[in-house]
Amino acid sequence: MSISSFIPTLWEARLLHHLDNVLVARHFFNQDYEGLIKDQGDTVRLTQIARPTLFDYARNQDMPMPEDLETVSQELVIGQAKGFNFQIDDIDKVQARSELLDAAMERAAYELSAEEDAYLFNLLYEAAPAENRLVRSADSPDDMYNLLIELRTIMVKNNVPAQGRAVALPPEAVGLILRDPRFIETGSDKAERRLAHGLVGRAAGFDLYEVNNTPGGNTIIAGHAMGATFASQIVQTQAYRPERRFGDAVKGLSVYGAKVTRPNTVAIVEM
C-alpha cells in the first residue's frame, strides 16, 4: 500500500505528529540483565542468597561451624517478540520531500515501546499480592493524599527502599493532585518540563507519574525498580528493496521479557 496522500500541492514536507501516551513503565523496573539476552526464548537465571544467621560471639570460645547458605533462583524468560515490516514507494519519497523512512522508523520504535509499556504495567498489576491491593475512591485532594499515605505504609512495612518509590496515576487522580500545593507547584519552567515527561511531582515519598494505560484505565500502581526486572533487545533490523516493488523497505524484530522478582514491592489501588 503506497503513501499516496503525500503530494506536494496538498501537504507540507513535515509530518503530522501522533497523539501518543507518555511511556513510563520502565521507571518501575530495573534493566540489570538486559545485556545478557540475544534472542526470543532466552532465559536468565536470577539468584538470590539467603540471609546469614547471626550469633553471639564470646571471647576464647569457638564460634559455630560455617553455615551453608541456600540460594533461590527465578527465571527471566524472554518470551515476547514483536516485529515490523513496512515499505515506502519511490514515487512517494519524491512527492513527500521528507525523510519518510526515518519518520517511519521513529514511529515503529514508539509502537514497540508502547507495547512494552502496556505489557509491563499489566505484569505489575497481576503480580501485586492480595494484601497489597486496595479498593478506594478519591473525590478531593485530601482523599488522594491519604491514599498515597496508605501506599507509603505498605511500602514501609515491606522494607521497600525510600529512594526510588514510584506511583503511576490515571488522569482523574492527577487532576486532584494538581489542585493541592502539597503535590506540585505549577507554572514554573521546571514544573512544566516535569509534566511533559509524565512526572507530575513528588508526594508521600513517591515520584508521581501520569499515565493512560494502566490495566482497567483507572488503576493506581505503586512500585520500586528493585522489585522487578526488564530486558529488551532489537535483535534484527534489515533494510531491503522488495523484489516486486520500486521502493525501500525495512523490517525488524524486538524481543523482551520481564519478571516481578519481589511482588511485595508492588501495591495496587482500584478506583
Residue-by-residue DSSP string for 125-182 = HHHS-GGGEEE----SHHHHHHHHHHHHHHHHHTT--STTEEEEE-HHHHHHHTT-TT
Residue 2 lies in a domain: no
pLDDT at 183: 65
Identify whether the C-beta of residue 75 lies closer than 8 Å to the C-beta of residue 44.
Answer: yes
Of 216 and 121, the structure prediction assigns the larger pLDDT to: 121
pLDDT at 194: 46
Residue 182 lies in a domain: yes
For residue 227, is pLDDT > 90? Answer: yes
Residue 6 lies in a domain: no
Residue 89 lies in a domain: yes
Residue 204 lies in a domain: yes
Which among 8-17, 167-176, 230-239 has the top mean pLDDT? Answer: 167-176
pLDDT at 263: 97
Domain count of the fold of the chain: 1
pLDDT at 95: 63
Residue 1 lies in a domain: no
Of 182 and 162, the structure prediction assigns the larger pLDDT to: 162
For residue 2, is pLDDT > 70? Answer: no
What is the average pLDDT score of the chain? Answer: 84
Average pLDDT over residues 218-244: 92
Question: Band of the pLDDT at 192, cuts 50, 70, 90?
Answer: very low
Helix (H) or strand (E) holding 118: helix 100-127
Average pLDDT over residues 140-165: 96
35 forms bridges with which residues in the sheet? none
Residue 12 lies in a domain: no
d(C-alpha 19, C-alpha 6), whole Å: 20
Average pLDDT over residues 127-150: 95
pTM for this predicted structure: 0.82
Residue 66: CATH number of its domain:
3.90.1690
Query: pLDDT tens digit string along 202-217?
Result: 889 999 999 988 998 8
Question: Band of the pLDDT at 62, cuts 50, 70, 90?
Answer: very high
pLDDT at 205: 92
For residue 168, is pLDDT > 60? Answer: yes
pLDDT at 70: 85
pLDDT at 181: 74
Residue range of the domain that includes 211: 25-270
Query: Which amino acid is located at 25 in the chain?
Result: A
Of 56 and 188, the structure prediction assigns the larger pLDDT to: 56
d(C-alpha 105, C-alpha 110), whole Å: 9
Average pLDDT over residues 76-81: 91
For residue 258, is pLDDT > 70? Answer: yes
Residue 5 lies in a domain: no
